[in-house]
Structure 1
Amino acid sequence: DLDHPGDNDPSDHEVVWIEFDQNSRKVTGVYTYFHRALLSTEEAVKDANLHRQRARINVQWGGHGSLPLGWERLKPQVFYEKIGEKLKIKNMPERYQELSKGIKNPGHPLARNWPKRFEGSYKDFINFSQYVDSRKWLKKKRMVIISRWPNAVINRYFLAYNYFPKKQWPK
């Protein structure tokens, strides 16, 4: 995460949940983690079922928020259970405005070789045309496990450093 090089969490993680119907083997839910907000759209579910149960997930530049197909119509909010309130979080235009001005800690040692700001237009910022097929890499690294406890699996098997646990399941 470009704005937080010194938070003792050296990289951000894309967290996505794909829900399947066990009988039909169809995707019934596509959920993404966007800066503590859970995002989901029917458009993402329909698209996944049209593409062999593979959901398209767009990833925000610099802050690594995960966005389902159809994210543009969503108004992200975070529900804080401890205080029982929903709070609006920054949307993509607001995040673009900040990142195009510059990152928060450009002088931090970990950020030495990082980009100092987003150089393109807002249209460039939301252009998700660079396709990355993660199947081969995930298979080679053996980084797919089905579990009721995803945070424990990620911490135990996949990451050898500090990991900020995310929500276990979106429902």
Structure 2
Amino acid sequence: MTTLTQLDKLTNQSFNNKMRRRGFAIEKTFYFWRKRGPFFDVLWGEIIGSGSSLRIFVTVMCPWIDDPVTGEFVEFPFRTCSIGGTLSGRFPENMRSGVNFDVATEDEVTQSLENILKLVDENAVPWFNEIVSLETYQFYLEKSANRPDAKDRAKVKKGIAIGLQRESYQ
């Protein structure tokens, strides 16, 4: 059985450094983010199955949606997915049925972290890099499980448009 505290000790050995090399900052235990223009790419983990499994969530957030004046997050770190879902080899085609990574033993954690890095490189990072406009964000927003109503879609559109005006990609 693994806890986030135990997982944190194991990830600090090399996994966190590998995520930093990919441009991600570490906010807290198994919570990684990077900023691209007005967007934040986020990965976070959740221990499930009484400590035997780890599920990884993947999302892109834009703080300009919640605060079109300053572009600051109302809450950070957050644990919601407006777009995105759970990491798997089928992500982003299938965002709702991700993989649960085995983490009951230290050997399982080591193997799972290797698999997670592979999926981050092959699936999550290319998807993150695809989200560069209001159109791509809205495309995935419409595919999400929590499809917003017309008022929320208008808020998203306005916030991202402002964010793209004020923060360019480098």
TM-score, length basis structure 1: 0.24
Q: Could you say which structure has the greater relative contact order, defined with CA pairs below 8 angstroms and 6 or more residues apart? A: 2
TM-score, length basis structure 2: 0.24
- Bigger proportion of residues as helix: 2
Larger Rg: 1
